[in-house]
Amino acid sequence: MPRLLPLLLLALAGVLVGLVDASRDGADDLVVLLAAVVVVLSVALWEVLRSRARISLRPDLAAWLRRQGAATGEPADRLADRCVAAYRAGLTRTEDPVR
């Protein structure tokens, strides 16, 4: 899960509460401002959610990732990244510059 996801969800929830409260109080200018913030946060949330490349794995490999992640405490996404980087390094005989 991207690190920004919980922060964006929390910010969006807070702004939505403010939007509902402002609309109940009849503060039209604040409603417009908060609605614009909701749109910006929604776009940012969408970008964060779609920024991660999606790959599909064979069921046995996906099960191994889940078991290995549970055993080591490492998130399955990070473990998959390391596995792919190690495989690529073996193919190209180079180190992964991004860690």
pLDDT tens digits for 37-74?
Answer: 999 999 999 988 887 777 788 999 999 999 999 999 99
- Kindly state the average pLDDT of the residues 68-92: 91
In contact, 41 and 12? CB cutoff 8 Å: yes
Look-up of token digits 């190690």: 86
In angstroms, what CA-CA distances link 45 with 2, 6, 10, 41, 50? 10, 10, 11, 6, 9
Radius of gyration of the chain (CA): 21
Mean pLDDT over each residue of the chain, to the nearest integer: 88
The predicted structure's pLDDT at residue 99 = 52
**Backbone conformation region of residue 60, classed left if phi is above 0, alpha if psi is from -120 to 50, else beta:** alpha
